[in-house]
Amino acid sequence: MWQTIYALIAKDLLIFRRDRTALALTFLLPIALGSVFGTAMSGVMGGASDSTPVRVGLAVEDRDQTGASRALVDALSAANGLDVDVVDDAERRVESGKRACAILIPKGYEATVAAGRTPELVLLRDPSQAISQQVVLFQLAPVLLQQRIATEGPGLFDSALEALDFPALGRPGASAVLRTSFDDIQTLLLESSAATAGDATPAGTAFDPLAELPGLLGLDVRDAAGNRDDGPPRSAGAAHAFSAMAVMMLLFTVVGAGGTLLQERNEGTLTRLQLTPAAGNAVLLGKLGSVGLIAFLQLVVLFAFAGLVYGVPVLADPLPLVLVSCSWVLLAVGIGLFLAVVCRSQKQLEGLSTLIILVMSALGGAWFPREITPEWFRAVGSFLPVAWAMDAFHGIFWYGKGLLPTETREGIGREVLQMVGLAAVLLVLSVRLFAQRYGSRAR
Amino acid sequence: MEAPPETASAIRVVGLEKRYGERVALAGVDLCVQRGEALGLLGPNGAGKTTTLRVLSTLVGRDAGEVSVLGLDPERDGAQLRARLGVVPQEIALYGPLTARENLRFFGRAHGLVGARLTERVDWALEAASLVDRADDAVQGFSGGMKRRLNLVASLLHGPEVVFLDEPTAGVDPQSRNHLFEMIAGLCKAGLTLIYTTHQMGEVERLCNRIAVMDQGRIAAVGTLAELAALPEVRGHGRARLELGGGRDPAEAAGVLRAAGFDVAVHAEPIDLESIFLVLTGRALRDESETEA
């Protein structure tokens, strides 16, 4: 019996070793996905002391244009975790999803500071990017507190401790510490926020940074995207999730359907089709048509569900959605057929496509928002079709973007062009490769 | 080998060469098939039979030589040629989840048939394959013989003038093989030009007017069975059958021949197994599929 067991193990290992695709998939896929996740989340979840924090984009619009306002802009720019853009259309950037947050420095900022009053800064935020907002708030805290210290003096610390619900018993000590060193203020804030994240904080006393910190910092927080007055209520989670599923699952569907090309080759029906008068490109175009229709139907069903059950505004402006859906179907079919033509076997196709789709989806923002990932990660992701499709679908569902830009919002025209362009390239390559590999010699 | 004459030929091949990388698949094939002729193409595995058919049917190009099928060049006039050509592949090239009728309608449409003509040809094919009763059943539930018959008629829907058959009877029971033989014989009678490849010598003897034997990428010999048997390298390898009249004992006759200086042996010649099987089980088709109770 043992000899049989040994022989079976040896045989299976031998077969496993011979199947290079399975071999690569077994070892490379977890490594690749682990690397992608690890890199993406490192900035948010922390780690080694020398790790580079994620820099979150912050648009700053300086309407005061004075020495004091410029000093504030400089101080914000110097913050470690902020990637500051000085702009004159901050609201539009947040509305378009370009920035998770923006600061408006109002006219009269310098005069207010000079009068010893708290200046009213406006924080515009995109409610769908909660993680980015938290990072922005914690980065803003030391800069803005410093501003308030400068204007309000040490009395600020007592009001700050009160706003934080700091236990009365410890307030004098904490106040003393606050007065002694501004660095310690940062420490206390960070500890407070850490306590909020853990389970140890008693119920009812949780520190909600989004709710309380802005007041402490003298910020007037306004939503500049998503749940606007001119449209139905929207769920940021559903908008992202259904955009992501539309993008990622469609790729799996299309690659699976494109794989039937290899199945037809194995079963001989492809040869029979090659022997028909049309043959050649007609076979590939026929496959493109059937795969495209299946994919489009999948999107229709998915979006109908998203609209009916989760209130995702799929019918708010149908034309851009139809255009983006068609473009993405075309590109996904292009990717699927290209892979099906390039791969020599169905197993190879399964392995390669799984690797490509999962990694591309992670880098392109289908699994988690790209805003929370490191800059180079975002840069790489922006070149990937998944990112274009995510930006387009999410842009429609959450930001209410149309095909063309308006005064307040950017359009999704560029993403549509990118998708159609790459689809054309991939389809031409697929047709040529198909003709080389499977096509009849004569037309 | 001398180039064959052009007159009345449906297929004319001169000096055909084909390489796959370093491997020589065809090393100068010369062949001529007349219109209405059934040619058996025999040869061991790797002899070049399949490659020859792939070149003739436009599936692959050639490296050298001249090829003409129905007066058309497979490389230059592919679409025109494919419209007049039928190829019965060795594998069952059908869609299992579709019914027999759906498969036929699909392949008919792919060949440009539409409307009443399509319906008429599909009905003809179902009748020819004896599958009228199972026309609306999924092919994946068919027996091997039923699939083979459907595989054959699917290649004939568009009414080809030349048909290539690549082992069309592989893996079927004697009844189905017999039925397939009759279908193919019907094609011969209808005046179609056939090239038939198989490892079953008996099938070729029964169906083909002439036989071409391929080896190492060349035609080693071509002719009728009698012409092949008369070739010098073949003659002397045969066995003669002596029929005795008047109830005389074969052993006695053998004695007489031996006395006259002939080297003779007497063997009883039993009936072959296929004949016994057909006698015992009859010639009617059996279409019970494995999935049926």
Crossing angle of the two packed helices A346-363 and A318-342, in degrees rounded to 10: 140
Interface test with B, best of A266, A275, A443 (most B CBs within 10 A): A275
Chain B residue with minimum CA distance to A439: B59
Where in chain A are the domains? Answer: 56-223, 236-438
Greater confidence, B192 or A316? B192
* pTM > 0.80: yes or no: no
Contacts of B89 in chain A (CB under 8 A): 268, 271-272
* Proportion of chain A above pLDDT 70, given as a percent: 75
Architecture of domain A56-223: 3-Layer(aba) Sandwich (3.40)
| A389 — pLDDT class (breaks 50, 70, 90) | very high
Q: Which of A210-219, A302-311, B26-35 has the lowest mean pLDDT?
A: A210-219
Chain A residue with minimum CA distance to B75: A442
Closest CA of chain B from A277, distance in Å = 4
B 136-195 residues with CB below 8 A of A? 154-155
Are A441 and B57 within 8 A, CB to CB?
A: no
Are A267 and B78 within 8 A, CB to CB?
A: no
Asked if residue A116 has pLDDT above 50, the reply is yes
**Which pLDDT belongs to residue B275?**
59
Cα B222-B224-B229 angle, rounded to 5 deg: 85
Strands B9-20 and B64-69: antiparallel
Q: Which of A318-332, B32-46, B224-238, B268-282 has the lowest mean pLDDT?
A: B268-282
A 101-120 residues with CB below 8 A of B? none
What does the pLDDT look like over B164-204, one tens digit per residue? Answer: 999 888 888 888 888 888 899 899 889 999 999 988 888 88
Tell me which residue of A112, A117, A100 sits closest to A58, measured CA to CA. Answer: A100
**Which pLDDT belongs to residue A442?**
40
| A289 — pLDDT class (breaks 50, 70, 90) | confident
Interface test with A, best of B20, B91, B150 (most A CBs within 10 A): B91
- Per-residue b/e over A273-312, b at no fewer than 16 CB within 10 Å? bbbbbbbbbebbeebbeebbebbbebbeebbeebbeebeb
ipTM for the predicted complex: 0.80
What does the pLDDT look like over A72-102, one tens digit per residue? Answer: 888 888 887 788 889 888 888 888 777 888 8
Q: Does B58 touch chain A (CB under 8 A)?
A: yes
Closest CA of chain A from B159, distance in Å = 13
Contacts of B87 in chain A (CB under 8 A): 271-272, 275
Are A267 and B93 within 8 A, CB to CB?
A: yes
Closest CA of chain B from A274, distance in Å = 7
**Please, what is the average pLDDT of chain B?**
85
Chain A residue with minimum CA distance to B103: A269
A 121-140 residues with CB below 8 A of B? none
**Which pLDDT belongs to residue A234?**
59
Greater confidence, B175 or A34? B175
A126 φ, ψ (degrees, to nearest 5): -100, 110
What does the pLDDT look like over B200-227, one tens digit per residue? Answer: 888 888 888 898 988 889 998 898 888 8
Closest CA of chain A from B256, distance in Å = 60
CA A132 to CA A152: how far, in whole Å? 29
